[in-house]
Amino acid sequence: MNSNFNTICVIGLGYIGLPTASLLGTKGYNVTGVDVSPKVVDTINQGKIHIVEPDLDILVKSAVNSGNLKASLEPVKADVFIIAVPTPFKENNVPDLSYVEQASKAIAPYIEPGNLVILESTSPVGTTEDYVANILKEAGHDIDKDVFVAHCPERVLPGRILIELVQNDRIVGGINPKSTTVAANFYKEFVSGQVLETDSRTAELSKLTENSFRDVNIAFANELSLICDKENIDVWSLISLANRHPRVNILQPGPGVGGHCIAVDPWFIIDRAPEEARLIKTARLVNDSKPDWVIKKIVEKAEKFKKPTIACLGIAFKADVDDLRESPSVEIVSKLQALDIADVIVCEPNINEHSKFELSTLDNVLTTADIIVVLVDHKEFKTLTAAKLSEKIVIDTRGIVK
Ligand code: SAJ
């Protein structure tokens, strides 16, 4: 623990803020986590969690029990402020920075000379300077001299958050060189990966670039799946064969790209450079069109029945998480329901209830379904085999049924 920085205030207790706050709590910092939801604040103060992530329950319990983590509806004075709020997009894929704006305004009255303010939320180029630093400046703080402001984008993979929070390399970019150094020294206290220093704008674009790289590569796999369907070739075999080339590493096709990161972040680049970001935009459109293609395939099969029971396996945005944000599977199930051509049932082992979908067990699905659509490669579904499903029509968007 850095002797200069003992107290931390984390704004936003979601998938990034809560793991970060509890990790810092167990490392001996005195942490206050702030969230707008009274329910979230109460849950955490009881040492419990409101999201699913391996081992997070143990970490939060231990940080709260040690007295090093408290949740609150209001910010408090601290040495370091970490902003980890959502940065979604609005209509027309325009970035919505209102949460960053609100968080910056909320902490401004608590900041004192010598404090460090870090924006971890994935943000368009310029956000750290134009929003966070500017708002603090307007509130009367001397951001050129005695308040340090930096961007350090989170890079953790849901499902591996606690490991990657510590082990991943981190990019730290300050609004000036002094801010970069102060922020980098802070991360070096608890990160075992390398802490790489740059400026805030490069740090912002690095994060967007990482997720756009993945989006473009998944779009390539998704496009291949359409080509293979037309050519009547198994896309999974094709990819595994092509990947035997020493310099080819194709990702896996699926029902589309979901989550709050990869399906969103490329738009932050496109919004600022629409003329230049042609490939990035096309990849987004390819991935976004995949759910409708899957629906078309399901409808073709359903037409052979009067009113079939269609079971959709998985509605989370990817394997072994409970996160439904931007999930292509949710889009597919919703649109299927709206078509009213079948009884649509859903099996999602990671959630207990859903306001719009009827949830079934896997056993029930295997008994009642005429058509089985594999949408997520959850571990529970990996036991399914073609032999086991021989009496069903199977549409496997993840290539797990062998
Ligand atoms: N997907 C495929 N095929 C693949 C890989 C993924 O269809 O071969 C789909 C998934 O099913 C899912 C979506 O892509 O719907 C995104 O999943 P993901 O596992 O690729 O990524 P996320 O969204 O869980 O996390 C990403 C990570 N970024 C990169 O790998 C470059 C993570 O490191 C970031 O911290 C995170 O975004 C974030 O918060 O930005």
22 in Cβ contact with 29 (< 8 Å) = no
pLDDT the model gives residue 2? 53
**Which of 262, 381, 396 is the best mutation target for the ligand 1 pocket, counting ligand atoms within 8 Å of the beta carbon and taking the most?**
262
Are the C-beta atoms of 302 and 341 separated by less than 8 Å? yes
pLDDT of residue 176: 98
Would you state the pLDDT for residue 214?
98
Residue 68 · residue 79 · CB < 8 Å: no
Computed on alpha carbons and rounded to an integer, the radius of gyration of the chain in Å comes to 23
CA 215 to ligand 1: nearest atom:
14
* Residue 8: per-residue pLDDT: 98
Per DSSP, the residues of 121-141 read: S---TTHIIIIIIHHHHHTT-
Among the listed residues 156, 281, 125, the one whose alpha carbon sits nearest the alpha carbon of residue 215: 281
- Ligand 1 centroid–CA 251 distance in Å is 11
Structure tokens at 8: 């931390």
Quote the ligand 1 centre to 33 CA distance (angstroms).
Answer: 26
Encoding tokens for residue 229?
């369907």
Which of 16, 164, 207, 218 has the most ligand 1 atoms within 8 A of CB, as the residue to mutate?
A: 218
Taking the centre of ligand 1 as the mean of its atom positions, its distance from the CA of residue 25, in whole angstroms, is: 27
pLDDT at 400: 97
With a CB cutoff of 8 Å and minimum separation 6, the contacts of 51 are 14, 15, 18, 322, 323
Output the tens digit of pLDDT for each of the chain's 402 residues. Answer: 555 899 999 999 999 999 999 999 999 999 999 999 999 999 999 999 998 888 999 999 999 999 999 999 999 999 999 999 999 999 899 999 999 999 999 999 999 999 999 999 999 999 999 999 999 999 999 999 899 999 999 999 988 999 999 999 999 999 999 999 999 999 999 999 999 999 999 999 999 999 999 999 999 999 999 999 999 999 999 999 999 999 999 999 999 999 989 999 999 999 999 999 999 999 999 999 999 999 999 999 999 999 999 999 999 999 998 899 899 999 999 999 999 999 999 999 999 999 999 899 999 999 999 999 999 999 999 999 999 999 999 999 999 998
Supply φ then ψ for residue 151, to 5 degrees: -110, 130
Please give the structure tokens belonging to residue 320.
């072994």
Which of 51, 167, 208, 211 gets mutated to test ligand 1 (max ligand atoms within 8 A of its CB)? 211
Pocket of ligand 1 (CB under 6 A): 122, 154-158, 210-211, 214, 218, 251-252, 254, 257-259, 261-262, 317-318
In ligand 1, the atom with minimum distance to the C-alpha of 260 is 23
Catalytic residue among 9, 70, 207, 290: 207
Q: What is the pLDDT of residue 3?
A: 56
Q: Identify whether 382 is a catalytic site residue.
A: no
Active site includes 228? no
Q: Are 395 and 372 in contact (CB under 8 A)?
A: yes
Q: How far is the CA of 299 from the centre of ligand 1 (A)?
A: 28
Choosing from 261, 312, 318, 347, which is the catalytic residue?
A: 261
Query: Helix, strand, or coil here: 217?
Result: helix
Q: Whose CA is nearest to atom 32 of ligand 1?
A: 157
pLDDT at 51: 87
CA–centroid distance, 376 to ligand 1, in Å, is 13
Predicted local distance difference test score (pLDDT) of residue 1: 56
Q: How far is the CA of 262 from the centre of ligand 1 (A)?
A: 6
Predicted TM-score (pTM) of this structure: 0.94
